Structure 1
């Protein structure tokens, strides 16, 4: 397996509130997109991934189920962010999305909260491995708007679920089988909020390797008018 990652402030934002982690020894690849007051989004996203990595590392041998490990680690991250916000008035309301992938042999366990995504390109076809927790996703599910309309919706940044907002949290957790030749993308909405999924798939297919892939996708997001932080992890199963 090969991978590459990139995180950029983007052409509009003054600071980067995204965070990423890559720990191949744990099989862990994750992104987080923070939100909140002054510097609080950066604190929340970084804290989420630091707690995630620490919990998985400390419980590598104790908990056999990768699904259970991810669920518990994300709840721990939620607890840490929620408590930190309660203790510091300047951080009240801070939170973050998270999309984390745990690779165990030919199996991948994907957990997500919010609207950061995991996408899989297989045999030239791209598919979402996650479901956004957002207002526009609910509108899509109800048949109120199309995927294309969602990208232009004035409330497309409104989340229905995020880490750190309340004391309890339920993460969506999915399991998939990986196959030779698969291309996996984990990213924040600085990419997917501006570049259609089919175009993302085309660029993933075009890339000779993950390093070229992350730069092609970053360039495309900026060309499509991304006004957000952009974070991408690209994995190739070869």
Structure 2
């Protein structure tokens, strides 16, 4: 019997000496599944970084035994409790991916993203919950104009304790050799999808791929907290 095995690499870089508002984590779950999670605290909120770390910690704690929708509810409740305790605003995105031997299960709020790489192809497995994306859907903005839209970073959905968020859930098939990336907007706004595909194709080793991605990011300049966590799916003989 073949069982899944994962190679993982990541980085999370603050844009300044101040707090990093991004948070990432991974964890092995029962039945040899892998949890990947990323959160990007909203910069306009006073405690975005704490909100991101709290959301990620909640996922790691609960993912092995709870439905993903319940994990998001609990993360939002904990953010609400923390915000009420000091009367300051907390807000964050949250994107999770649970990898099995042949399938990936997604939970998503906000504009952190999941990219699915297979060979020379790449697919975005999440949809940005932003004002710009809504205007694209409505035909008001083109993709090109949206890149210059002054409110492109405005979120329409986030975990902020209010309970008023839209949880996107989906699944997709995976196979040996696929690479799954969770990344924050600080990274994907600086490095394009075609460049990520090229770096992946040039680097068979996952750690080398992520190191090359980091080097390209530094060459471009870090304008926002930038994070990625990548897992490559392999197989090994099981019992």
**Partners in 1 of 2:26 and 2:14 — Cα distance?**
19
Determine the C-alpha separation between the residues in 2 that align with 1:168 and 1:139. 20
Cα deviations across residues 115-172 of structure 1 (Å, max 9, x unaligned)? 0000011131111000000111112212233334333322121101001251243310
Which runs of 4 or more aligned residues in structure 1 lie more than 4 Å from their structure 2 counterparts after TM superposition? 36-39
Pairing 1:52-91 to 2, within 5 Å after superposition: 52-57=59-64, 59=65, 69-89=67-87, 91=88
Alignment of 1:1-238 (within 5 A): 1-10=6-15, 12=16, 14-25=18-29, 27-35=34-42, 40-57=47-64, 59=65, 69-89=67-87, 91-92=88-89, 94-238=90-234
Question: How many Å apart are 1:7 and its aligned residue?
Answer: 0.6
Structure 2: stretches of 5+ with no match in the other structure: 1-5, 235-239
SS in 2 for 1:45: helix
Distance in 2, matches of 1:193 and 1:98, equals: 18
RMSD: 1.9
Q: Is this contact kept in 2: 1:107–1:176, CA < 8 A?
A: yes
Q: Within 2, Cα distance between the matches of 1:145 and 1:168?
A: 26
TM-score by length of 2: 0.87
Deviation string, structure 1 residues 83-125 (Cα, Å, up to 9, x no partner): 2112212x22x11011100112211101111000000111311
Question: SS at 1:2's partner residue?
Answer: strand
Normalization by structure 1: what TM-score? 0.87
In structure 1, list runs of 5 or more residues that go unmatched: 64-68
Report Cα offsets for 1:160-206 as digits up to 9, x if no partner.
10012512433101101101221111111111122222222222222
Of the structure 1 ranges 144-153 and 221-230, higher mean CA displacement relative to structure 2 is found in 144-153
